[in-house]
Structure 1
Amino acid sequence: MRRQRKRMDTRLLLVSHAATAAQRAGRFPADDPLDARGRAEAEAARPRLALPAGGAVFASPAASARETAAALSLSATPADALADIDYGQWRGQRLAAIADATPRELAAWTREPDAAPPGGESFGQLVQRVGEWLDAQQADVRSCNAVNEASFAAFAHSRTIVAITHATLLRAAIVHALGASPTVFCHIEIAPLSVVELRHSRRGWSWRPAATA
């Protein structure tokens, strides 16, 4: 009789990158690197976050995410799907300036998931993008289930995934995992160097408090 393989769950730890000088100045991101303060905050957070050394590690292609991963002593593979939401024409501009110039557009963007900056991406579109990436991680697991027992056992030890990305991505991942309406996004607050833990099992994705040291 063929021995039934144990189903493998996936643990995903999503980490928001350290704060940048542009964020502290109230600017929309424009692929800003970490400054000395941001790097120091990421390095200081390393014991608290206690991220696993093994397993797959991904990062947004943005400098802030890649440099946060390095400050956390993680070697990360860039993933385009983890890129920040596209801010379009607002990229690099001060929030206060946008509020003065186009207050209605900014107000809609902060409340309505289908509203987007000029030439940019809506939160609803972001949820779809992140959801496709999350589901692709499970496709990898199903592929692993089809290989021989030795390969399966080796792969099973690496099913904790770490992703260093942006607060907007963590919001979108929570919405997707809960199957919630994207309209709730404005009620989810994500601070720099926060961790969101998602688990995938037979019931699908679930959100749980992240265990940190």
Structure 2
Amino acid sequence: MTARIVLISHAATTALQRAAFPMDEPLTDQALRRLTTARPLFSPPAATTTTPRTPTTAGRPPRTADEGTVTTNGEQGASKSDGREAPALEEAAALGPSARKVLCGPSQRCLQTAAGLRLEAEPVEALRDWDAGRWAGRTLADVQAEHPEDVLAWLTDPASAPHGGESLLALLDRVTAWLATLHDAGRTLAVTHPAVIRAAVVHALDAPPQAFWKIDVPPLAQVTLTSNGRRWHLRLSAP
């Protein structure tokens, strides 16, 4: 069976605006409004309409890392929402009602994004964000001013975790292990974090770890991966 996964990056947060490593935090008010624009694309047929799951904070981890630029947990080049999310989500929307699995990260921002898109998503621990350890809640500029050598190691050595959280190699291994469970899973839709999506792309392309820093994933971006049962491929959508 050919598998297909559509990965959707959660909507924008205050950490993105602050260029900070966040703790678990909600979406911004503007991001919640953007979700109402994209929501109709994900509405299932009338005959199968279901009540969306209300996002909760139960069981979420105390800290996660988030999106941004190279100044926010390495989310290089990510920018604020410009209102063009709906067209970018068309393929994910087409998959949404027919997906065999609808998953999301356990963080508040992923749960809110899924609920805002009217998706009944199952929280999955493997889709949690990159753990920034002691840097959570701080801007990269502040950390770099105090510990420039630690930041340099974090950006250049995939095995390094100077913040005491998760190294890049550990993140890549976690995402690779999760993808390995889905080769025969049919169609899957997953709302997750930019770092998780970037790790999935690195794995699909069999790229070196440093390629992670060259991938930009803005809020509500979507990436499609397909599997022939043995390996994953990056799929680009036609206009």
TM-score, normalised relative to structure 2:
0.74
Instruction: Give 1:162 shift.
Output: 0.6
The answer as to whether partners of 1:45 and 1:193 remain within 8 angstroms in 2 is no
1:170 aligns to 2:183 (yes or no): no
Distance 2:31 2:148 in 1: 30
User: SS in structure 2 opposite 1:84?
Assistant: coil
Q: Can you list the C-alpha shifts for 1:14-71, whole angstroms capped at 9, x where unaligned?
A: 0110110122111102111112111112232344213221221100000001100111
Give the structure 1 partner of residue 130 of structure 2: 85
The answer as to whether partners of 1:126 and 1:169 remain within 8 angstroms in 2 is yes
User: SS in structure 2 opposite 1:74?
Assistant: coil
Q: Which stretch shows the higher mean deviation, 40-49 or 189-198?
A: 40-49
Judged with a 3 Å threshold, the aligned counterparts in structure 2 of structure 1 residues 100 and 38 are, in CA distance, closer, same or farther, namely same
In the alignment, which of 76, 85, 104 is matched to residue 149 of structure 2? 104
1:33-44 equivalences under 5 Å are 33-44=26-37
User: SS in structure 1 opposite 2:36?
Assistant: helix
Distance 1:14 1:211 in 2: 17
The answer as to whether partners of 2:3 and 2:229 remain within 8 angstroms in 1 is no
Give the structure 2 partner of residue 121 of structure 1: 166
Instruction: Give 1:186 shift.
Output: 1.0
- Identity between Structure 1 and Structure 2 (%): 39
Q: Can you list the C-alpha shifts for 1:76-125, whole angstroms capped at 9, x where unaligned?
A: 00000000011000011122211111112112222332222421101111
In the alignment, which of 53, 68, 74 is matched to residue 97 of structure 2? 53
Higher Rg: 1
User: SS in structure 2 opposite 1:53?
Assistant: helix
Give the structure 2 partner of residue 28 of structure 1: 21
**In structure 1, what residue type is equivalent to 2:126?**
A
Instruction: Give 1:210 shift.
Output: 4.1
Q: Which stretch shows the higher mean deviation, 30-39 or 62-71?
A: 30-39
User: SS in structure 1 opposite 2:16?
Assistant: helix
Aligned positions, number: 187
User: SS in structure 2 opposite 1:137?
Assistant: coil
Give the structure 1 partner of residue 224 of structure 2: 197
The answer as to whether partners of 1:16 and 1:193 remain within 8 angstroms in 2 is yes
**In structure 2, what residue type is equivalent to 1:25?**
R
Give the structure 2 partner of residue 156 of structure 1: none
The answer as to whether partners of 1:113 and 1:185 remain within 8 angstroms in 2 is no
TM-score, normalised relative to structure 1:
0.82
Distance 1:126 1:14 in 2: 16
1:67-86 equivalences under 5 Å are 67-86=112-131
**In structure 2, what residue type is equivalent to 1:10?**
A
Instruction: Give 1:203 shift.
Output: 5.4
**In structure 2, what residue type is equivalent to 1:137?**
L
Give the structure 2 partner of residue 147 of structure 1: none
Q: CA RMSD in A?
A: 1.6
